[in-house]
């Protein structure tokens, strides 16, 4: 692969919801040798559970139940992978961090702690997705996007720092792409002090476009469970029609006016 053919592919929550979905998406990744950077969302439902964990009125019983639901989603995938010890250990570490963070939030409602907790879904799904690709015989590893996706410190809706992201990506991410598929997290970043930040709900699309820009990729692909951009949401309107081709402006307009198919800021890095 030459790097100017590089494709960055993003898979949303339903696409990484469970092992069968991850496996189908891994096949999509492997069908194009130029796809070397994969950006994943948290498995479907996980970020909503994490959001509830950060809420002020969650009691201890509910807190434990939420943690259990999150663990079950991860463990179903680990089981389907044949319970690899190293992967289970990595996920266990993330799950116990979730538990500690959710407990700390009871005493200290810090926005930084909340963002760290919200980031855990993508941390889990990226570890698992890389394992699914390796299972298919291709070298792959999970990469901590916080090494390169620098943002300001506006927790919950952090602003990406484009120039720093470009420099960091060239230094720390580009060299890894020669002989493996890198799987990394959408939605999350880190500020100058290394504190975890998030880009706002649905932010994984934006992450993918930012990384594609930083790596001067040939294309960014947003894969989802709907086969294209439709005139209206096909899950709600039966007469919705797929749009074969759409300009940056039209796509930006649709996203800005609430079409959930794309995070509104995603178009900006793509245009640049
Ligand atoms: N997991 C995050 C969310 O649910 C980001 C994303 O899916 O794009 O909002
Ligand atoms: Mg989305």
Task: Please tell me the distance from the alpha carbon of residue 29 to that of residue 247, in angstroms, as a whole number.
Answer: 25
Task: Please tell me the distance from the alpha carbon of residue 65 to that of residue 63, in angstroms, as a whole number.
Answer: 5
What is the per-residue pLDDT for 169? 98
What is the per-residue pLDDT for 264? 84
Nearby residues for ligand 2 (ion, Cβ within 5 Å) = 12, 202
Residue 121 contacts residue 67 (beta carbons within 8 Å) = no
What is the per-residue pLDDT for 259? 77
Whether pTM exceeds 0.75: yes
Q: Report how far ligand 2's centroid is from the alpha carbon of 10 (Å).
A: 10
What is the per-residue pLDDT for 255? 85
Q: Report how far ligand 2's centroid is from the alpha carbon of 5 (Å).
A: 25
- Quote the distance between the C-alpha of residue 169 and its chain's center: 17
Q: Report how far ligand 1's centroid is from the alpha carbon of 128 (Å).
A: 17
DSSP string over the chain: --GGG-EEEEE-GGGGSSHHHHHHHHHHHHT-TTEEEEEE---TTHHHHHHHHTSTT--HHHHHHHHHHHHHHHHHHHHHTT--HHHHHHHHHHHHHHHHHHHHHHH---HHHHHHHHTHHHHHHHHHHHHHHHHTT--EEEE-GGGT-BB-S-TTSPPB-HHHHHHHIIIIIGGGGSSSEEEEESSEEE-TTS-EEE--TTTHHHHHHHHHHHTT-SEEEEE-SSSS-BSS-TTT-TT--B-S---HHHHHHHHHTT-TTS-GGGHHHHH-
What is the per-residue pLDDT for 112? 98
Model confidence over 193-248: pLDDT tens digits?
A: 999 999 999 999 999 999 999 999 999 999 988 888 898 888 889 899 999 999 99
What is the per-residue pLDDT for 2? 64
- Within 6 A (CB) of ligand 1 lie 12-13, 41-42, 47, 121, 186-187, 201-204
For the chain (272 residues), the mean pLDDT of every run of 10, in chain order, is: 84 97 98 98 98 94 98 98 97 98 94 98 98 98 98 98 98 96 98 98 97 97 88 88 92 84 88 90
């Amino acid at each position: 692969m030459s790097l100017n053919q590089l494709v960055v592919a993003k898979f949303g929550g339903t696409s990484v919801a469970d092992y069968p979905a991850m496996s189908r998406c891994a096949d999509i990744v492997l069908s194009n040798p130029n796809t070397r950077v994969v950006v994943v969302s948290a498995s479907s439902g996980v970020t909503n559970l994490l959001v509830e964990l950060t809420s002020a009125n969650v009691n201890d019983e509910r807190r434990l139940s939420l943690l259990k639901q999150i663990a079950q989603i991860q463990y179903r995938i680990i089981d389907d992978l044949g319970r690899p010890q190293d992967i289970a250990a990595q996920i266990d570490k993330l799950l116990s961090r979730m538990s500690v963070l959710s407990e700390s939030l009871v005493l200290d409602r810090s926005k930084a702690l909340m963002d760290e907790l919200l980031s855990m879904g993508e941390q889990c799904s990226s570890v698992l997705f890389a394992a699914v690709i390796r299972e298919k015989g291709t070298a792959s590893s999970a990469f901590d996007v916080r090494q390169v996706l620098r943002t300001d410190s506006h927790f919950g809706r952090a602003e990406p720092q484009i120039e720093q992201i470009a420099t960091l990506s060239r230094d720390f991410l580009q060299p890894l792409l020669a002989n493996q598929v890198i799987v990394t997290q959408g939605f999350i970043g880190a500020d100058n002090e290394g504190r975890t930040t998030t880009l706002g709900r649905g932010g994984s699309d934006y992450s993918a476009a930012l990384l594609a820009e930083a790596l001067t990729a040939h294309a960014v692909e947003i894969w989802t469970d709907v086969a294209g951009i439709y005139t209206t949401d096909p899950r709600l309107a039966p007469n919705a029609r797929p749009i074969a081709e759409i300009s940056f402006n039209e796509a930006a307009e649709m996203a800005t006016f609430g079409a959930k198919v794309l995070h509104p800021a995603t178009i900006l890095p793509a245009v640049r």
